Amino acid sequence: MALTKPYYSTRDEAPRVYHDRVGCNIGNSIPPEERCYGIHGRSHCRECRELAIEENETAQG
């Protein structure tokens, strides 16, 4: 499982999304000191969602 605790960037100019995938490049580019844990009413990161779909397809294949 490549899931992690949901987190998001505390930067004002960052997209209003949260990340929950270890392999997400967008999430990984957020420095640890700018990460806040939780979802906070944000929508799911597009890349995290695509990773989730890929992993589901891999698991079934």
> Which H or E run contains 6?
strand 3-9
Nearer Cβ to Zn ion (49/60):
49
The verdict on 26 binding Zn ion (CB under 5 A) reads: yes
Closest residue by beta carbon to Zn ion: 45
* Beta carbons of 48 and 23 less than 8 angstroms apart: no
Segment interacting with Zn ion (CB under 5 A) among 1-9, 28-36, 40-48, 52-60: 40-48
Binding of residue 14 to Zn ion (CB under 5 A):
no
User: Judged by CB under 5 A, does residue 9 bind Zn ion?
Assistant: no
Supply φ then ψ for residue 20, to 5 degrees. Answer: -140, 15
Cα 28 to the center of its chain, rounded Å: 8
